[in-house]
Structure 1
Amino acid sequence: MAYDILVPFSFKKNGIYYFERRVPKCLRKHYSTAKISYSLRTRSSTVAASRATKAAQQLDDYWYHLRIREVDLPGKHLLRLSHSANTASGGGASAVPAAPCVTLSEAVQVYLSLKGRGRPQTFQRAAERSCGYVIDVCGDKALTAYTKADANAFRDDLIQRGLTGSSITRVFGTVRAVVNFAASEAGIDFSNPFGRVYYDRTAGVEGRTSLPLDAVRCIQKQCRDADDDLRWLVALVSDTGMRLAEAAGVLKEDIRLDDPVPHVVIREHPWRRLKTASSTRKVPLVGEALWAARRVHECVRESEFAFPRYNKGGQTNANSASASLNKWLKACVQSKGTMHSFRHSLRDRLRAVECPADIVDQIGGWQTDGVGHAYGDGYPLDVLNRWLRAVADHQSKL
């Protein structure tokens, strides 16, 4: 029996991964054993990590339910209890309550049981948190019992909490999605009061900035000087315009250095979803991105991930990467910007060499407007490479 630190709550026996989790002492009375153990039915560490993480999450949710079942919690945040009970019982569409009686907490249960399958934990948390805010302010009512006055009171509470306009938009968007989906499943035909609520959508929102070229150069030089995995990640993003989560979640096999055009393949993985369908793409590696990719292949030996520190527990921890790298960026340059600013910068750098907009969109994984752009496979790698090389050449001449 061998333990694998890259696969949580598991051990390896005869090449097969097994899930193993000890039952907390306070919950032993509910079980006939002190340890839960079973085969994950795979020899792949990647698949095992995904399955083990999902199993551990389901246990954590259910154990949470057992712990709070007899506790009078403030805030009425009992949404996870409903979801856990449904998951534990294998509920699906049949778990939809009768139409007149669907409460908001039950709506969250329906939404997560049907739309939450295969989605990251952040998806569940967003639904629970956003609708939990509504329950705190307005109570856990039947969907048809909520009024426009409730929606306005909810908006006022979010403003008092100090949320920016963009954050309020996200919260309202989640609440609307939960209510609309559950109402549709239950056959309820009504006007959602959480739609078309007025608030200042620009309040507290700062426009995202593009790093100037001299700041990009300065950062790239410091990446070369430091020459560690964090700086390889920064350098990879700086000359590809990849989203940080996209770069942090790539496998070493996604970095194709032996091809005629060295490139990185950006595709969806169980541990890291992509933002949009157009995000699936291939991006040529030039300049500092090519240097970083080579350093990854030279130095990362014990993991299939290019950046293993951000891929533990079956999920890419892009938030951790963002926090640490943004902090480092602030200390590096005077210009205001974040890791996401590299995407803005690359678009400006491509504009500077008069790169066509649809090629820019394909490199960055942005959606290109127009029906015609959905036809075909897009531009070949050598064309994309030519424009990114033009960017590197233009930068070297300035």
Structure 2
Amino acid sequence: MALLRLSSIVSVKLRYVWQKPKSSLLYFRRRIPDDVKPLLAAAGSPHAGKIHYVVSLQTSDPRVAEPKIAKLVKQTDEEWEQLRNPTREGVQQQARELLAQHGIDPSNLEETPEGALWAFESVLEAQLPQSVRESEHITGSQLDRYLSPAHAAAFQMLQGRVKFTLAECVTQYVKARPDTEKDANLVFGYLFAFLGERPGSPAKTRDIRSIKRPDVNNFVAWLLEGKHSEGGKGVSTSTVSRYLTTLRAAFTRAIRENELGGENVFTSVEIPKAGKDVTKRETFTVDQYQHLYRAIDSHTAAEGSDQLRCILTLVAETGARLAEIVGLATADAHTRAAVPYLDLREHPWRSLKTLGSVREVPLTPRALEAVRAAQRLAGDSPFLFPAYTSADQCRANSASAALVKWIQGRDGLQGTKLGNHSLRHGMEDLLRAVGCPGDVRDRITGHKTPGIGAGYGEGFPLQMLAEWLTKATTRLATEAQ
């Protein structure tokens, strides 16, 4: 720890600071732990063989040096921890750096001078025990076990033996994009199940480059035929397209970040009869809304308020997605504001579909009544609908199944295929019918508004949104009310 003078009467002590004799320039100097020293050598670090990690701080002012020191302490801690417990990505990065130090580009070996390759082979050979160097029976991949992780990975790169498994692909993808975990695990689970029926190595440990285009096309057919399902029910072409989008994104990231080279086999996949199996989702008409509201009012009058009917009312009166409503925290409902509203935002137990889904939605009089009823039912719970939401999850699918069954059993709605999402489509129609501008509709429902200008400014005042919602829902007044 150096004692540095700031003035004739003020001095400061800074740890990890060192000065050369007769020089005012400050250096960061930290002793390299004994267990890290051999790891630095194995990784080909420029600090290999040294006792201290030394870097110039490019200043003689301790006040300027202090934040730089804190940053370097954090950096060295991370680097040394990575050396002690290397991740696959870390080892691959060390291997690339090791090759670069010897003038080798693993992505362009054809242009690498033979002298550089021979020199690096000598480096690898020097790491091998004498008995291994003299053996004529240990070759190729068998040598990996005698090399450090970084040198073994570099050796694999030179020989084109770098393997990146499907399991690593999905793990790396989910780590980079945590919000995709549920969908990614589902889709890769189907891919593992499909590949498990094929000859060869276990699906999860297969190199992603071993997946060929015929595998992809057969996987698509396998999904369409319902072979992934116990009941044998196939999925729609739009669902297959969504699955392929996830796989394409994961493979693209793996190929790019791990410099695997080659094409992505999930790019431009043709799905037989794509889009021809689409069935138009039914949407609520004004008459059907009135039947629904009469049914809700009748149920409430006979049995009192309950969470499902409150959820249904809020979906109908706001046009929000079911999960957006089911996953509300009690603090998200602002019933005492000048314009009562719901604050739709991300929560650990419930994400939102897009960035545009984060919004404030005004409450109509009927919606406000439903929120207050839900608050009474929730009691002290931090969740507005605790029967369907907890700190771990939002069970919107459970609420959806119960509500669809109930909706389709009501007078005037029997024999339809109306569901919760039909109310979202219905709100678009209601707003459109009263002349609500498209960008205002998008703000209320959380759809992305096309055009660059949509991303500028603060958006629309809550009062304006409330006025359009009131105009749209006034048409739904029934005799029962």
Report the TM-score when normalising by structure 1: 0.72
**Is structure 2 residue 453 aligned with structure 1 residue 372?**
yes
Counterparts of residues 180-329 of structure 1 (less than 5 Å)? 180-199=252-271, 200-226=273-299, 227-312=305-390, 314-329=392-407
The verdict on how the C-alpha distance between 1:93 and 1:318 changes in structure 2, with shifts beyond 3 A counting, is farther
Partner of 2:175: 113
Cα distance in 1 for partners of 2:319, 2:472 equals 12
Asked whether the 8 Å contact 1:241–1:343 carries over to 2, the reply is yes
Counterpart of 1:182 in structure 2: which amino acid? A
Q: Secondary structure at the match of 2:448?
A: coil
Cα distance in 1 for partners of 2:87, 2:281 equals 43
The verdict on how the C-alpha distance between 1:153 and 1:190 changes in structure 2, with shifts beyond 3 A counting, is same
Report the TM-score when normalising by structure 2: 0.60
Cα distance in 2 for partners of 1:127, 1:260 equals 46
Which of 383, 386, 390 is residue 467 of structure 2 equivalent to?
386
The verdict on how the C-alpha distance between 1:331 and 1:297 changes in structure 2, with shifts beyond 3 A counting, is same
Structure 2: gaps spanning 5 or more residues: 1-84, 93-152, 227-233, 300-304
Cα distance in 2 for partners of 1:213, 1:155 equals 40
Q: Secondary structure at the match of 1:230?
A: helix
The verdict on how the C-alpha distance between 1:175 and 1:134 changes in structure 2, with shifts beyond 3 A counting, is farther
Asked whether the 8 Å contact 1:130–1:175 carries over to 2, the reply is no
The verdict on how the C-alpha distance between 1:193 and 1:252 changes in structure 2, with shifts beyond 3 A counting, is same
Partner of 1:177: 249
Q: Secondary structure at the match of 1:274?
A: coil
The verdict on how the C-alpha distance between 1:217 and 1:268 changes in structure 2, with shifts beyond 3 A counting, is same
Asked whether the 8 Å contact 1:239–1:287 carries over to 2, the reply is no
The alignment's C-alpha RMSD in Å is: 2.3
Which of 417, 439, 451 is residue 336 of structure 1 equivalent to?
417
Shift of residue 137 of structure 1? 4.9
Q: Secondary structure at the match of 1:188?
A: coil
**Is structure 2 residue 210 aligned with structure 1 residue 145?**
yes
Cα distance in 2 for partners of 1:305, 1:127 equals 30
Cα distance in 1 for partners of 2:418, 2:166 equals 39
1:45-67: CA deviations, max 9, x gaps?
Answer: xxxxxxxxxxxxxxxxxxxxxxx
Counterpart of 1:125 in structure 2: which amino acid? N
Cα distance in 2 for partners of 1:203, 1:133 equals 27
Larger Rg: 2
The verdict on how the C-alpha distance between 1:110 and 1:300 changes in structure 2, with shifts beyond 3 A counting, is closer
Counterparts of residues 42-53 of structure 1 (less than 5 Å)? none
1:317-366: CA deviations, max 9, x gaps?
Answer: 11111111111112122232110111100000001101000000000000
Partner of 1:131: 191
318-327 or 346-355, which deviates more:
318-327
Asked whether the 8 Å contact 1:95–1:110 carries over to 2, the reply is no
Q: Secondary structure at the match of 2:454?
A: helix
Q: Give the percent of matched residue pairs that are identical in Structure 1 and Structure 2.
A: 32
Structure 1: gaps spanning 5 or more residues: 1-88
Shift of residue 176 of structure 1? 1.3
Which of 152, 165, 170 is residue 103 of structure 1 equivalent to?
165
Structure with the larger RCO, 1 or 2 (CA within 8 Å, 6+ apart): 1
Cα distance in 1 for partners of 2:86, 2:176 equals 11
